[in-house]
């Protein structure tokens, strides 16, 4: 075999190995039940977070007051998060030495 044929054969074998490896990882990811969103770090929200509205079917006055308090607490938290995000956008540059 000439040197050129050996190089072409080696490149073809490497391409096949890479394709097999890629196929294997895709198959394992599918078997594990990992979606593209989860693989990329999508946000997961547990259904029993503290402060969740629990009375989805309860329409009593007490339940509405509790839900209102929960919503108010969540809005205050959102407001604080928004303020911190705004502050981070107004960061002052630091002089580099």
Q: How buried is 62 (Cβ within 10 angstroms: 0-12 exposed, 13-18 middle, 19+ buried)?
A: exposed
29-56: per-residue pLDDT in tens? 766 665 555 555 544 444 445 566 666 6
Worst-scoring range by mean pLDDT, 7-16, 26-35, 40-49, 79-88? 40-49
pLDDT for 35 equals 56
Whether residue 68 is predicted with pLDDT greater than 80 in this model: the reply is yes
CA gap 14, 8 in Å, rounded: 10
Whether residue 60 is predicted with pLDDT greater than 70 in this model: the reply is yes
pTM attached to this predicted model: 0.35
Report which DSSP code applies to 60: S
């Amino acid at each position: 075999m000439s040197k050129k044929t050996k190089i072409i054969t080696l490149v073809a074998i490497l391409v096949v190995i890479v394709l097999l490896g890629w196929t294997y990882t895709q198959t394992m990811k599918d078997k594990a039940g990992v979606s593209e969103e989860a693989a990329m770090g999508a946000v997961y929200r547990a259904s029993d977070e503290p402060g969740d509205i629990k009375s989805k079917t309860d329409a009593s006055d007490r339940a509405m007051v509790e839900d209102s308090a929960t919503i108010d607490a969540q809005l205050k938290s959102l407001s604080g998060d928004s303020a911190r995000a705004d502050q981070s956008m107004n960061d002052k540059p630091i002089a580099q030495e």
